[in-house]
Each structure stands twice: as C-alpha cells, then as structure tokens.
Structure 1
Amino acid sequence: MPKTLIVAEKPSVAKEIAKVLDVRGTRGDGFIANGQYVVTWAVGHLVNIAEPEEQNEDWAGRWSMNQLPMIPSRFKLAVLPKTTRQFEIVKRFMSADDVDTVVNATDAGREGELIFRRIFLMAGCTKPIKRLWANDMTEQGLKKALASMESGEAKRNLGLAAFARAEADWLIGMNYSRLFTLKDHSLVTVGRVQTPVLKLIVDRRQEIEHFVPRNYWTVEATLAHGEDSFSAQWYCPPERSESRIDKEEDAAAIVERCTDTQGAVESTKSRKGQQKPPLLFDLTTLQREANSRYGLSAKDTLAIAQALYEQKKLLTYPRTDSRYLTKDVFNECLSHMRAVYHEFPEITPLAAERIKDGKPKNFACVNDKKVSDHHAIIPTAKRPVKSALSENEWRIYEMVSRRFVAAFLPPVQYASSTIWVLIDEQPFKATGKVFKDKGWLVAEPWRTAKDNPLPALRKGSKVTAESLKAPSHQTKPPAHFTDASLLAAMETAGKLVEDDELREAMKERGLGTPATRAQIIETLLARSYVEKDKKKLVATDTGRHVIDVISQHLPDVTSPELTGDWEKKLGDIERGDFTYPEFMHEIRDSVYRNVRGIKNYQAYDKDGFPTAPPANPVAPVSDYRAGAPRPARQQYDRDGFPIVSSAQPAATVQQGAGVAFYDDNGFPIESASSTTKPTRKEKPLPTRVEHEGEVVGVCPSCGKNVLVHADAYICEADPSCPFRIPRDAFGGEITMNQAADLLSKGRTFKRGRFVSKKGKRFNAHLELDGSRVALRFKD
C-alpha cells in the first residue's frame, strides 16, 4: 500500500501530527510510522548553502582579495554535520518505493519553505508535494489543516523567493564581510538586515553624544471661576503653537504681569470623540508590549510564545506579521472566546455578544486582504490552566487574550473640551477630557487615563489668575533604543526611506521579519557591536567603527532602502510578478561591481586608512519596471535554477547607456551595445581600462601572476616569460572569469559565445593546449 511521508520542522510538531492521524505504529529513531503514514522531522535546518571552500577550491584557506568576488555559478548545498543522521532518515523515506506523496509540514512562510525545499532538493526527490498550513497546534486546528492541504506547486513561488533571499544574503555576507575585513585589517561582519539595524543604534548613540541641552521656561497658571479652579498654560501669540520661552526674564515678566489679574474666557470648544479598539498582536507588537510592560527581551518573548503554541497549544502560530483575522477565522472566534471566559469573565460576555450579533465588516481586525502567511496571534480554543504556566507564560497568554477580547469590544467614548482665556491680552489654554464609556479599555485597564473635567464656562466668563509660576526645563536628547523601541524602528523602517514604492514594501516587512528581528538583536549583542545597559541597547565603539568603515565605501548597505528594494522584489517573486533568475542576476551584478570597485580603490588617508571611493563607483542596475527594457524572461528548472540554452543568449539588463551581458556563470561581461552584430571583421570593442593591472591567476609556465591588460592577459614576467591569453579570440571575447578558469583548471566548464568567420554565433568551451587557447565542443 502506498504511503504518505510527512516532514515537519520539529519533533514536537511531528508527534502532534502523528497523534491526529492516529499513527501509533512503529516508533523508530527519527520517525513515527504505520502502514499508511511516515511522520518525520527536520530539526530546523538540515541543509544549508555550502561553505565557500566547498563552492570553489580557490576560496579555501586564508582570506585574500584575490578570492573576491565569490560568486558561485550555481550554489552548492551541504548537509549540516550535526544533522547528517536525521537527513539520511528523511532522504531514505523520500527515496522509498512505497512512498508516493511527500507532505511539507514545516512552518509557514519563506523560512519553513526553504527548510523543506533544500532537503527535497538535496535528497534528489521528484515525488508530488502537498503543503500543510496549520494555524494552531490543537487537534481541531491540525485536522482542519490536514483536510485542506494545497499542492506543493501552489507554494512554488514562495520557495523561489526563499532560495533567492538566502542566496542573496550569502553573497552579501560572504563577500562584503571578507572585503571589509581585509580592507580594515580587523573583523567586520556585514549583513543585509544586521548592518542597517546597527546603523540605527550607532546613529542614536551619536545623536545623544552630540546633543547640546538647551534651557527653556514655561508659564503655568491656576485660574479660578467662583469656587471652581483649573490649570492652564501660556502659549506664545499670535500663532499660539509654542509654549516654550527661551529667556527666564521673559517668563518672569509674564508671571508678574498676569498674577492676581482678572481675565475672560475667549472661546470654548467641546466635542465628542471615540477611540477605536486596537488591532490584534503580530509578533513584533507582542514583543514590544512585553518589553515595555515586563522588560522581556524580544528573544524571550518569541521563545515563550513559541512554547505556548507548540507545547501548551494555547496560542496560534506566533511568527506572524499580520494583525488581522480572516472571515473564516472570525466565524470560529466564539469557541476561542469560550476558552478564555473562565479566566476573564468580566470582559468576555460583551465581546461574545458583539461577535454573535455582528458581521466581519463591523470589526477592523477582520480583513482577508491583510493576512498573508498567517493571521494575528490569538488564543486557541483550548481552555488554559493557569497553574500549569510559568509567570512569564501567563503574562504573555494574558496579554494576547485581553487584546483578543479588546478587539471585539466597543470604542471608547469621551468628551473633550478646550478653553482659551485672555489675561491682560496673554493667551492661556486649558484642556480636559471626560470618559463617557470606557469601552475596550476595560480589557486593558492599564491604558486608562484619568478624567480631567473642566468647569462649565462660556465665552466672556470672568476668571482670575490666582497663582502663576515659571518652572525651568531642559531639552533632552533622544532616548537610547530598548528592545521595544528598536523593534518599532525596525518595523517602521520605511519612514526612513524617501522612495514611495520602497516605503510601501517596507511598511509590510520593515527591516527583517517578525520571526528574525529578535535574532538580529541577539546577533549584534553576541558580536559586541551592541551592549545592554539594563533595558537600553547602546552601540559599542566596535559597532560604531564597523558602520564607519562600511559607510565610507558602501553607504547603501547601511541604509534601509536596500532591504526595502529586496523585500519588494522578493514579494514580487512570491506573487509571480518577478523571477528568481532576474533577481539573482541583479544581486550578482551588484556584488560583482561593488567588490571590484572597492577592491581596486587604493587611496589611503594620512593615517594609512583606506579613504572612501569616488561617489557612485558602481552604477546601479535599473529596474525594468521603472521604464528600462525588461530582461529576457529566462526559463528555470523545478529547483528554481536558470536554464541556459546553447541556442539562447543569457538575459541582459540595462546598464547605463550600454548593455551588461552575463556569461553562463552568471558573471557580468562588459561589452558594447548589442545593436552591433559581431563578426570576424567587426566585433564589439569593450571598455577594459577599469580592470587593467588586476591579477587574474597564476602563469602555468613560470608560476608568476598573470595580469589583465587592455588586449590580453599577460604574465607579469613579460618579456622573459612570453605566456599570454588574448582577450579577443574566435570572434568573441575571453572574459576575466574564463581566463581565471583556464589558468586554474586548464579549461572553462561553461560554454562561451563566439562568432564564426561566416558571422554565425556558436557556443563552445575553451581549453589551454600548452600556451595556446583552443576550442572544445564536448563536455
């Protein structure tokens, strides 16, 4: 009988799935099985991108500039040494003849998809995939997920976006970390998200250190009307928008002028207002709230929420970036409300009644369009046992439960009033608020403000300034980041971006994702780029130096704009509006050009430190959606790798006034405009000055370096050593990467494009025959 293989992300999840499917058969080491199902797990990542030395033997050993840029033609994967045994178990079942379907039961979102797809790829499996998408780990939630599984093809684009994100992060991290470490002669680690977050913290420290406090004064009055008295504050005429006074003598003059002076009400304004219920928690807002209220770190909050999801089954999936519910989940909310009723009987009945009588459109937290991978965090339908939870587990559960109830309670109703009083022609303002209905605030009482009523006055009413004072104040620097405020800055990093399109992308994702933001903070702490002073996150001198070094050469890497651009395009890949090959070509091109530009810049300041390169040393790659010609749409295999046909030239992207071509390895080839048809007699004349003098490899004749020249790759021992490789051959160009392959391996392993004497294009390998370059048509 054919079996179904289910691959979960963790053993705990696998065991819960096995229980629901009644898999109580053989409990092997690393799997649970019966005659119908095999349930196994990944233990997180079993497969990662291989280390540089495994990608290319030339990248092994001591770091050197000659190894850069490191851009694999195709990324190799490697099984993690610590998880080899579990990988072999999963692979064995994926290859088993009696398994006909594989279920991907990893976490939703890019990372879970990446974990499974890498295993599937590494195992060489070709069997049909189904995708399990569980909102909560209760029996009811898992049964629902198992009954509504999607085809793996439905999540294909999500998998491609996951591969693109991981590979692009590898290219940025590996190349720029080595580049800046070698340039600075000290370890400098660079990350697409880590570096701009560090920049935020460094900038905040510098703002505080360079802050110069300024003294100012205000005038505060106690005004009387009959037996009633109330407080008011002076505002500067005629705009009345500023209450600060720069000079103490000016404040004292107002006090002297108005004390014991009668005035009159100039105007009164009253209005009714309401405060809508808050949206539900996503992971980031939950982490911020827990840090503000209880001092819990982002990492601790995630760990607690994950335990309440996986082990206690009291919360829905926590690694979500949505604060909304779908209509389908709304229809199940009463069962969730019943589960929390016994712990919160004073607030749940009204919420339950409103859910019964209302429609989804009546509640701001219900919006299908605002839910991507998972809906907001809410309590499950399982009733909690408070005594079975730790203090912090209960705190998180209570916060989520109270917010869940609050979202379905009525708005807060209040009346606010504003009174302007003129005393000897000096304007004083008094404001007050009275709460008519506390609404949802009963669920989160710590947010409730006190009533501040004002006496019933009307225009012309007489008042007396009983007492006035002019307290002194001092401007304060911005506060150091805490976990809560840094998470907010990471979530709303789009505010730092000027481009509207990028800002919209970052509005959804920000810097990092809810699932990764806590780890980013922990990474910065572990690398001693940031340190904690109680709740405060403070950049260290090392962290500041790292940002200085990177900002000198690649300021874009420290900016949230880079992440916004990536997240937008990764989102486009998920939606099918952009492709993995197009995205990776752009990243490869950017890294290639940036590394080349910085590596070859040899200017140093008077202290011996490298100075910044000229502005814009690397021309950015245009986005076809902004008006540039769209790259040729490439085909790619089931694993998301581009397929390069021998009859089809590689894709092109607009580069300045010309066109940047890519060879079969994905490297950019500098060439002239493609409008000129290359022939033996007339071929493109590329601009080659920028790479002249670079080392491209080792001379096979004498062992010295081979250098790049305008028309050939020539041994530095020339003329005593005659070895050279021409740059123009067989109607085409031998690129630097092809020359490097010839010198290190004796042949190119990817075909180059050339032109016959009759003007026909053809593809062939190159090989070294002694000191002569020859064509090779077979692999």
Structure 2
Amino acid sequence: MTTLYIAEKPELAKAIVAGISTSSTNRNGYIECNDGTLVTWCYGHLFEFVAPEKINPEYSKWTLNSLPMSLMPVPIQPSKSGSQQANIIKGLLKKSNYVINAGDNDAAGQRLVDEVLEYNNYKGRTGRILVSDLSPTAVRKAVTKIRPNSEFQDLSMSELGRSIFDYIYGMNLSRVCTLVAQDLGYDGILSIGRVQTAILGLVVKRYRANKKHVKTPFYDVFAIFNVNGQEYRFKLAPSKDLIDKFPDNFDDKNRIIDQQFANQIGSFINSQGTGEITSTDHKISKIQPPLPFSLSSLQREASRVYGIAIDKTLELTQNLREKHHLITYNRTDCSYLPTEHHQLAPTLLATINKLVPSLQSVIPYTDPSIKGKAFNDKKIEAHHAIEPTESNKANINDLTEDERKIYELICRKYTALFLPPAENAVSKVELAIGNFLFKASRTQEIKKGWKVIFNKDGDITNEEDDDACEDADNDNGTGDLTKLIQGQIVNIDSTALKQGLTSPPALYTMDTLLQDMNNAGKYVEDTRLREILLERDKDSAQNGGIGTPATQAGIIANLYSRNFIKNDKKNVVPSVIGEELHDALPSFAVKVDLTAYWQEQMLMLSKGTFGIEQFQERVDKFVNSAVYNIKENGLNIKSVNRVHYSCPQCQSKLRFMSKHKFWSCSNYPECTSSFPDIAGRPDLNAKPKAKADKTEHDCPKCKKHKLGMRKSDKGFVWYGCTGYPNCKASFTLDNGEFKPLEFKKSSQKKRTTKKK
C-alpha cells in the first residue's frame, strides 16, 4: 500500500518527512521516504474557478443584457501558477491507495486538499493529519492521531460555500455596478465584494459619525474633603436607579448632560456634611508581557509605529521568512506559541542578541525559564504566532531598513516574554454620601519590567495591555488614597462641577481599521446573526472578523486602487465616489450582516441541512435579485461631471473606453458605432471606418465565417474574419495562399546617457 501525504506548503511537507522518516530522496515535486511513503505539497490553492467567458462566450463582453450571469455549478481548473504541481500530484494519486490530507488546520486548509482529490476523482482511502507545530516531535505525535478525512467534511463544505458565494456575488455585482455607472459617465471599475464593501461601509460610517458630531457638554460632580492636610476629590458614579429615574439627564455613557440637575446633586451633597469610606482596595498589579505577533497585529503595530502600509508589511515578512530565513510562517492569525517551543528560548535570545543591537543591553536580564501565557498548545489551530528563528549565518546588514524595523518589532515582542512583569500600585476607594456613591482611583507605575524595551518607538497596541492604567480622567486631588480606611467618616468641605465636551468617534487609522476588521462582529445589527458570527470565531484570534490576515492587505489595497478610500494624513477616509457607491448600493452590501447571514447558510450546508445544489440555488436567487434591483433602479452616483453624448445611429448613450481612449455605444453589440476621442469628447464628425468587403473565402481558422478584405490608409491589403470578436484571425494573401498576419508591437529604443 502506497501512502501519500499532501501538504498545503513545502515547509510542512519537509517537516512531515523529518518527523516520519530517517532518510528520503527529493523527487520532482515530491519527496520519497525510505519506506516508500510519498510526501508532496501544494503552493496554496492549485485550482481556481473557471472564468465566466469560458463557461459562456457571451460573458466575454461586459453587457447588461448578459446579467445576471448563470455560472452554476462553477467548474474549477488548475491555475496557471499551479498547473505543473497539480499534474505531479495527479500522477502520484494514481499510484497511491491511502492519501492523507495535510492542509492547514482550518476550513481553507481542509478544502484546499479536498479539491485536489475531487478534481482527480480520487476514490481511495483518505485520512486527515493536524499539524500546527513543524518540529519533528510534534509531527510524530500528530501522525499517531490521524483521523478519517470524512470527519472534516463540514469544514470543507463550509469553505466551498464561502468561495462559491464570493465568486458569484463579486463577478455579478461588480459587472452590473460598473456598467450602470459607466452609462452615467463614470470612468473606471466599481469592484464589489462581500468583505471589500463591508470595509467601505465601516470607513464611511465612521467618517460620517466623526463629521456630523456636535460637541455637547456633560458634567462631572466632585465631592471634596481634607484629611490630615491632604485634599481628596471623589467623582460621582451615578447608580442605575438614578439613571433609570432621570434618563433624560444622562447620555449613552451615563454622563450628566443637564447642568441644573448636576448643580442640584452638588447642593444636596453639601447639605449632607459628611460621608463614609465604604470600600478600599489597594494592590500591586502585575502586568504580563503582550502576546507575540499575528500577522494582523504586526501590520497594525508597523503602521502605527513606522507608518508602513499593511501590504508592505506582508511583503517584508515574506522576505524575512523566505529570503533571510529569520522568522517563522508569517501569514498567521494566531498569537500563541507551541509549548515545545519554550525550550528554544536560550538559542533564539542568543540570535537576537547577535542581530539586534538595540536589544543587546537587555538580553542579559532575560530569564529563559519564564513560561508565560503565550505558550499554549490549546490556542493554536493552523499556525502559531510569528517568532524569530535560529540563525548562525544571517547578517543584519543584509536587511533593508524596513526589513530591519519589522524584524526588530518581532524580536522585541519575543524578548519581552522573558523579562519580569511590569508592576503598578493600584488604589480604588469608594465614598458614600447619602444615597450617592463617589469613587476615586489611582495607578502608579512602580516597576517598568518588560515595558522598558518599548520606550523607543512607543508602547504596545492598547488592547493587549489588559491591566493598563484605569480611569485616567479621574481628578483625585493630591491625597494619598492608601491613607483612607474603610468605615472612616469624612467631613465634606465642598463640591465642584467640572464641564467636559463630548468627543466624536475618532477617524480610522490603518491600525484601528484593522482592529475593527478583526472585531467586526460588534457591528452586526441583527442580534441572532451576530451571535452566529461570534460563535464562528470563539476559538480564533478574531471576534466576528471579516477577511483573514492573508487577504486583508490585498482587499484594502484594492479599495485604494479603485479610489474608494484615501488617506487624510494618518487617517483612512472615504473618497467622494466611495461615499456615493456606499449610498447607491443596496444596504446589505455595505454591512457586516451580509457575512453573518452567509455564515449561517454555510453552517447549514456544513451540517447537511441542505446539499451543495440547494446552496447554489440560494446563492443564485440572492445574487439575481440584487442584480435585477440595480438594473431596474440604477445607481445614484452624482460626482460624475462628464457631459453625456448620444450615439448618432441609435440615440443610446456613448461610453468612454478609458483603456483604449475611444467612445463606444452603450447599446453594443446591437449597435457597433464607435468614435475617436478628442480632448475628452467624442469626434462625432469623424469619418467612419470603412467596412470590410466580404469575400467568398472561408476563414481558415474558425471555418465558420467568411473573410473580409480591408485596406489600410497606406494601401496595405489584409483579410480579417467577419466573425470578430469571436474569431480574431487575420491574414495576408501570398501567391493565392492565406497566411496568418502577425502584427509587430512597436518597440521604443532605450535611451542611454553617457556619463560625462
């Protein structure tokens, strides 16, 4: 019996070989172990959906009449970059009777190998191995726990459903929106996608909330007293009963917004004369170091600290991994490390000491025996967090400036794991005056601990610092809270009213946009759907996230390239056309609810509530409805200032074809009129191109249509198929024989400048 492992990536394939075999031989596209076991790999997805025009030639032209496109069931084919490896695996499957799926431990990894098996109609026995750590010991352990591949079909079907929906939805909605917009004079492509337009929705909503915000005052009430010459100021903490009794006097953050009401409370407090310290809590809070980087958290940190674009960070980590071999797998959504990796700490810290000068002074103070929360096998699914690798040959001078910055960020996070915790002295005291409760708190840093190495470029991302200083806005006077005793009666000297102004929601930066993309579940308006999306990510680094670390950079880059969003200094804001597209689209298209809804559909598909055919029918019904709605009601895009020109032949609107700089009738192919462009307008008086004289000769290529004779302005005679554009063949007549005509591309000679 021949066993074949199919890994998702070459690195995993090599790790499997190291874990199961003492010797092996490298072959073309696979490795053969000494016991005959074969190990091959994919390079990510080897297959792709077939393009619409290959399913139906009518779809080669973007026309409203051809929409919605009927693409179900969508066939797959080997991608151009993956075809060679796909053929190698096809040959290996023919001589294997036991195939083990070694895709990543997630839905995408499961589907990636399953589609290889399905495409090749493999009917033999199949297994599933789950490997999250590439060490030989971990691989050997995983080999003992191989399970039937059929146990993971729910994951595979869920991912198949996601990819089908995204393909059908994106292809149809992008075409219909683009064509409708072009009829209005818009020059460009309106790219629509489930995740892409949801991100646009987040940016537009935040931008408008910021711009429409009107600053309104709110009021804090303070009780002031003295003890042993020290002044204390405690702030009112409104009770739920008070808020419920006077709801109009509070905002959504439970702050008093009625000045007269605040003054009345102050007058009452003054009349009471005394108060009682009802609670004191003084402790030393130990703050543990932040978790290592996932790709997303690294992209956020690099953007915030250095202003490096997220797609650039992805590229830099790819270089650090593949070119310099300085870090582990980079496209990970996990922030935890395998328990077994803890033993690598002395070696990795030595490598950091050698390669990162800025950390050399702190390495002697690290303790490799510290084993914090970052080392947790239960938190790892497909990949572990990014960490440095052991390197004896690497030279920091071989790295570019940006590569060094990213590498240092990664090494700094790793080094922090083995430094002492930071320590804060935290005091919280409560004061009761009548039925009103007042609070005061103070946090004072007493030991920097691991934070000492983050001073150079700013602190860490905020949400990872769980024990950050609390209640920074509290004005507690100068009094030492530790001197107050529970049960102590104090004399109230006075009250004070402090007015504040509400702040608008902050505009997105790339850091905060990525944060919200990974926590987008909170923006789902439907409560039931929100819970479904959050349940999907319960064991993930995301919390109802949209997009993955591997795709987020590309999606955001597409929004920029389409001019839907732009930068305003460090902020991410929508463009005019981005806002108009947002408003023109059906409301579901710009909400995270769309992801949540189809997550529910994919969940039912994975559980067998209905089959793939029924799922495809639901996708078609949903997409068709959206397309017909846009075709019927159009798009309300007002920013296009182009003057509309009518076709002289059929009176339809002319459309500017920006790629080839000419004007074409929007009624094509019924009307084939076209006109050259002159300074942004169609030359309606231009002499129409001479039509080809139809001959009696059949086209030698397609054998379906006749050839037409044409003559250039310079008198050159040539023949083209009258079946154009379906057949684009052209010929010259040489001694009574038609020979294919080759159009030479004009080449521009390179200019050389002589050095003086």
Per the TM superposition, whether the score is higher than 0.5 is yes
SS of match in other structure, 2:88 = helix
SS of match in other structure, 1:417 = strand
2:553 counterpart of 1:511: no
Paired position in structure 1 for 2:484: 456
Paired position in structure 2 for 1:499: 526
Residues 239 and 481 of structure 1: CA distance in aligned 2, closer, same or farther (over 3 Å)? same
Paired position in structure 1 for 2:280: 270
Residues 124 and 338 of structure 1: CA distance in aligned 2, closer, same or farther (over 3 Å)? same
Paired position in structure 1 for 2:204: 202
Paired position in structure 2 for 1:714: none
Paired position in structure 1 for 2:227: 225
Residues 392 and 341 of structure 1: CA distance in aligned 2, closer, same or farther (over 3 Å)? closer
Aligned equivalent of 1:193, options 187, 192, 195? 195
Distance in 2 separating the partners of 1:606 and 1:569: 36
Paired position in structure 1 for 2:567: 532
1:140, distance to aligned residue in structure 2 (A):
3.3
Ranked by relative contact order (alpha carbons within 8 Å, sequence separation 6 or more), the top structure is 2
Paired position in structure 2 for 1:73: 72
1:40, distance to aligned residue in structure 2 (A):
4.0
1:48, distance to aligned residue in structure 2 (A):
0.5
Paired position in structure 1 for 2:149: 152
> Which range moved further: 287-296 or 99-108?
287-296
Aligned equivalent of 2:601, options 551, 561, 569? 569
Paired position in structure 2 for 1:548: 583
The one-letter code sitting in structure 2 at the alignment partner of 1:396 is I
Distance in 1 separating the partners of 2:329 and 2:257: 52
Could you tell me whether the CA contact under 8 Å between 1:412 and 1:440 is conserved in 2? no
> Which range moved further: 452-461 or 169-178?
452-461
Aligned equivalent of 1:520, options 548, 552, 555? 555
The one-letter code sitting in structure 1 at the alignment partner of 2:79 is L
Deviations 1:722-755 (A, max 9, x none): xxxxxxxxxxxxxxxxxxxxxxxxxxxxxxxxxx
Paired position in structure 2 for 1:480: 507
Paired position in structure 2 for 1:489: 516
Could you tell me whether the CA contact under 8 Å between 1:283 and 1:319 is conserved in 2? yes
1:564, distance to aligned residue in structure 2 (A):
0.7
Is there any run of 5+ residues in structure 2 with no aligned partner, and where?
A: 244-249, 353-362, 460-464, 471-475, 538-543, 642-666, 671-756
Could you tell me whether the CA contact under 8 Å between 2:218 and 2:255 is conserved in 1? no
Paired position in structure 2 for 1:431: 441
Could you tell me whether the CA contact under 8 Å between 2:369 and 2:418 is conserved in 1? no
Residues 585 and 485 of structure 1: CA distance in aligned 2, closer, same or farther (over 3 Å)? same
Distance in 2 separating the partners of 1:100 and 1:286: 43
2:409 counterpart of 1:395: yes
Aligned equivalent of 2:628, options 589, 596, 614? 596
> Which range moved further: 188-197 or 378-387?
378-387
2:86 counterpart of 1:87: yes
Residues 37 and 366 of structure 1: CA distance in aligned 2, closer, same or farther (over 3 Å)? closer
The one-letter code sitting in structure 2 at the alignment partner of 1:506 is L
1:236, distance to aligned residue in structure 2 (A):
9.1
Could you tell me whether the CA contact under 8 Å between 1:528 and 1:542 is conserved in 2? yes
1:50, distance to aligned residue in structure 2 (A):
0.8
Deviations 1:263-302 (A, max 9, x none): 7545452136778969956655565456555655544555
Distance in 1 separating the partners of 2:162 and 2:257: 53
SS of match in other structure, 1:108 = coil
Paired position in structure 2 for 1:59: 59
Residues 156 and 557 of structure 1: CA distance in aligned 2, closer, same or farther (over 3 Å)? same
Distance in 2 separating the partners of 1:410 and 1:606: 55
Paired position in structure 2 for 1:416: 428
Residues 438 and 279 of structure 1: CA distance in aligned 2, closer, same or farther (over 3 Å)? closer
The one-letter code sitting in structure 2 at the alignment partner of 1:206 is R
Residues 414 and 251 of structure 1: CA distance in aligned 2, closer, same or farther (over 3 Å)? closer
1:53, distance to aligned residue in structure 2 (A):
0.7
Distance in 2 separating the partners of 1:400 and 1:571: 37
1:585, distance to aligned residue in structure 2 (A):
2.5
1:169, distance to aligned residue in structure 2 (A):
0.8
Could you tell me whether the CA contact under 8 Å between 2:422 and 2:451 is conserved in 1? no
1:500, distance to aligned residue in structure 2 (A):
3.5
Distance in 2 separating the partners of 1:32 and 1:19: 11
Could you tell me whether the CA contact under 8 Å between 2:584 and 2:635 is conserved in 1? no
Paired position in structure 1 for 2:751: none
1:288-303 equivalences in 2 (<5 Å)? 288=300, 291-292=303-304, 295=307, 297-299=309-311
Distance in 2 separating the partners of 1:210 and 1:229: 41
Could you tell me whether the CA contact under 8 Å between 1:280 and 1:376 is conserved in 2? no
Could you tell me whether the CA contact under 8 Å between 1:31 and 1:38 is conserved in 2? yes
Distance in 2 separating the partners of 1:588 and 1:512: 23
Distance in 2 separating the partners of 1:431 and 1:308: 45
The one-letter code sitting in structure 2 at the alignment partner of 1:580 is I
How many pairs are equivalent? 581
SS of match in other structure, 1:592 = helix
Residues 604 and 226 of structure 1: CA distance in aligned 2, closer, same or farther (over 3 Å)? closer
Could you tell me whether the CA contact under 8 Å between 2:317 and 2:406 is conserved in 1? no
1:303, distance to aligned residue in structure 2 (A):
5.6
Distance in 2 separating the partners of 1:132 and 1:405: 36
Deviations 1:18-41 (A, max 9, x none): 55545653554x445566355444
SS of match in other structure, 1:461 = strand
Residues 450 and 188 of structure 1: CA distance in aligned 2, closer, same or farther (over 3 Å)? closer
1:173, distance to aligned residue in structure 2 (A):
0.5
Distance in 2 separating the partners of 1:436 and 1:118: 57
1:190-339 equivalences in 2 (<5 Å)? 190-214=192-216, 224-232=226-234, 239=242, 264-271=274-281, 284=296, 287-288=299-300, 291-292=303-304, 295=307, 297-299=309-311, 332=340, 335=343
1:15, distance to aligned residue in structure 2 (A):
4.5
Could you tell me whether the CA contact under 8 Å between 2:133 and 2:383 is conserved in 1? no
Is there any run of 5+ residues in structure 1 with no aligned partner, and where?
A: 356-362, 610-694, 699-779
SS of match in other structure, 1:271 = strand
Residues 266 and 543 of structure 1: CA distance in aligned 2, closer, same or farther (over 3 Å)? same
Paired position in structure 2 for 1:738: none
1:165, distance to aligned residue in structure 2 (A):
1.2
The one-letter code sitting in structure 2 at the alignment partner of 1:93 is L
Distance in 2 separating the partners of 1:367 and 1:25: 32
Distance in 2 separating the partners of 1:440 and 1:572: 47
Could you tell me whether the CA contact under 8 Å between 1:338 and 1:381 is conserved in 2? no
Residues 246 and 67 of structure 1: CA distance in aligned 2, closer, same or farther (over 3 Å)? same
1:67, distance to aligned residue in structure 2 (A):
1.2
Distance in 2 separating the partners of 1:137 and 1:603: 51
Distance in 2 separating the partners of 1:337 and 1:444: 20
The one-letter code sitting in structure 2 at the alignment partner of 1:229 is E
1:365-764 equivalences in 2 (<5 Å)? 373-374=381-382, 377=385, 390-399=404-413, 402=416, 414-419=426-431, 430-433=440-443, 447=465, 453-454=480-481, 455-456=483-484, 459-462=488-491, 473-507=500-534, 508=537, 509-550=544-585, 554-574=586-606, 579-601=611-633
SS of match in other structure, 1:377 = coil
The one-letter code sitting in structure 2 at the alignment partner of 1:195 is T
SS of match in other structure, 2:194 = coil
Paired position in structure 2 for 1:645: none
Distance in 1 separating the partners of 2:469 and 2:150: 56
The one-letter code sitting in structure 2 at the alignment partner of 1:159 is S
TM-score (norm 2): 0.62
Could you tell me whether the CA contact under 8 Å between 1:110 and 1:158 is conserved in 2? yes
